Amino acid sequence: MLLNDDEEASATNHSLRATRDKSRKDRLNSMARIGVACSMESPQDRMNITNVVHELQLVMNILLEHRTLFNRQGR
């Protein structure tokens, strides 16, 4: 083994944290993009509510998938 158990666990935890942080940033970016699209000054430039709901559901599904994945890996 190249790393002892403590070093290996630390590297794994660091990798999980980095992945989790990137996922959070991606979700925040998606939410901000949706918010901006919904707040355009001209109504015809705003995102259609059906698309808003769809996009928010995608973000929620990704959040739930990541939460399940991280809970499994964190054990």
Question: What pTM value is reported for the model?
Answer: 0.66
| Residue pair 38/30 in contact by the 8 Å Cβ criterion | no
Q: Which two tokens stand for residue 46?
A: 């705003």
Domain around 67:
5-74
The distance from CA 72 to its chain's CA centroid, rounded to whole angstroms, is 17
Under the banding of pLDDT at 50, 70 and 90, the label for residue 2 is very low
Task: Count structural domains, the chain.
Answer: 1
Which residue do the tokens 């979700």 mark? 27
Kindly report, residue by residue over 29-49, the tens digit of the pLDDT: 999 999 999 999 999 999 999
Q: Rounded mean pLDDT of the chain?
A: 80
Distance of alpha carbon 33 from alpha carbon 68, whole angstroms:
25
